[in-house]
């Protein structure tokens, strides 16, 4: 027996919610992939915990993507079983998202150490690295307008004179602009990349955490709608 009256509105709202939920899952997958690629294209990271956050986000996105199927089909077909499964899985996802937010905050606190260790390794291995590796660090220094880890002096072993830095450290990058100019603030950026990069990554990580909390709030609404529709469907069965 089909639901009637106000339950029709609940049914419609749950279907719309499930579709939006499906889009949110797709969005989380994209965000997680972009964060993962961004971290590993920007830094050489050997700390496995740095990948935990993005991987958890991708995993939750994949689960949401498929769970939304139960919500859409359950609402469309008025299936008590599918709607119940959807609400249970939705609750479990909320728990997982809370865990991901906690993990994000924990990683946020140790982000400074991860960035510093990674930058030090990149600077020390710059001279003997591949062209792609050098290009990555050069782009970082140019985009962030910084030099070295904590300052231009981190490049003291770059040249034989101990006073040269890569051209990407220059205020106006050009061929050999960093030669003999390590301590020249008019030609070479003196601040290191550590603080600028940490601030950039923390800002992006915070947006991901906020997005996860917003989605969790919407999921609570989804559970409420599911429970209402389950009640309406069961009432229909009892009438029959």
The pTM for the full model equals 0.57
Q: How confident is the model at residue 167 (pLDDT cuts 50, 70, 90)?
A: very high
What domain count does the chain have? 1
Q: Give 44's pLDDT tier (boundaries 50, 70, 90).
A: low
Q: Is residue 70 part of a domain?
A: yes
> Is residue 182 situated within a structural domain?
no
Position 80 pLDDT exceeds 90: no
| Average pLDDT over every residue of 97-125 | 79
Q: In whole numbers, what is the pLDDT of the chain averaged over residues? A: 79
Mean of pLDDT values over 213-219: 78
CB neighbour class for 64 (10 Å; exposed up to 12, middle 13-18, buried from 19): buried
Report the C-alpha gap between 231 and 21 in whole angstroms: 22
What's the rounded Cα separation, in Å, for the pair 231 and 124?
64
- Percent over 90 (pLDDT), the chain: 10
Residue 151 lies in a domain: no
Cα separation, 101 vs 97, whole angstroms: 6
Q: What is the pLDDT of residue 48?
A: 47
87 domain-assigned: yes
Question: In which domain, by residue range, is 106 found?
Answer: 6-110+196-239
**Is the separation of the CB atoms in 60 and 98 below 8 Å?**
no
Distances (CA, A) of 119 to 148, 173, 189: 8, 20, 16
Note whether 32 and 61 are within 8 A (CB). yes
Does residue 156 form part of some domain? no
User: Which of 27-41, 124-138, 168-182 has the highest mean predicted lDDT (pLDDT)?
Assistant: 168-182
Alpha carbons within 13 angstroms on the beta-carbon side of residue 149 total 19
The burial of 117, by beta-carbon neighbours within 10 Å (0-12 exposed, 13-18 middle, 19 or more buried), is given as middle
In a domain, 76, yes or no: yes
Whether 64 is in a domain gets the answer yes
- pLDDT tens, residue by residue, 120-161: 888 888 888 888 888 888 988 998 899 989 999 999 888 888
Let me know if residue 177 belongs to a domain: no
Look at 212 and 20; give whichever has higher pLDDT: 20
- The residues, any chain, with a CB within 8 Å of residue 29's CB and separated by 6 or more, are 58, 61, 62, 65
Cβ proximity of 149 and 123 under 8 Å: yes
Question: pLDDT confidence of 237, banded at 50, 70, 90?
Answer: very low
């Amino acid at each position: 027996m089909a639901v009637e009256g106000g339950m029709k509105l609940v049914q419609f709202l749950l279907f719309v919610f499930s579709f939006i939920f499906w889009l949110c899952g797709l969005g989380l997958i994209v965000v997680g992939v972009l964060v993962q690629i961004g971290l590993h294209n920007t830094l050489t990271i050997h700390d496995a915990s740095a990948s935990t956050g993005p991987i958890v986000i991708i995993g939750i996105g994949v689960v949401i993507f498929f769970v939304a199927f139960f919500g859409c089909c359950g609402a469309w077909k008025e299936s008590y079983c599918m709607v119940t499964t959807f609400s249970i899985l939705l609750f479990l996802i909320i728990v997982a998202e809370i865990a991901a937010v906690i993990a994000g905050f924990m990683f946020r606190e140790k982000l400074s150490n991860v960035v510093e260790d990674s930058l030090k390794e990149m600077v020390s291995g710059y001279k003997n690295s591949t062209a792609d590796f050098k290009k990555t660090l050069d782009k970082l220094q140019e985009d962030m307008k910084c030099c070295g880890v904590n300052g231009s002096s981190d490049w003291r072993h770059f040249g034989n004179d101990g006073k040269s830095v890569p051209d990407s450290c220059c205020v106006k990058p050009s061929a050999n602009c960093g030669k003999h100019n390590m301590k020249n603030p008019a030609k070479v950026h003196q601040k290191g990349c550590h603080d600028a990069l940490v601030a950039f990554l923390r800002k992006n990580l915070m947006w991901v955490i906020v997005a996860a909390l917003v989605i969790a709030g919407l999921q609570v609404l989804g559970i409420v709608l599911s429970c209402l529709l389950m009640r309406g469907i069961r009432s229909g069965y009892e009438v029959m």
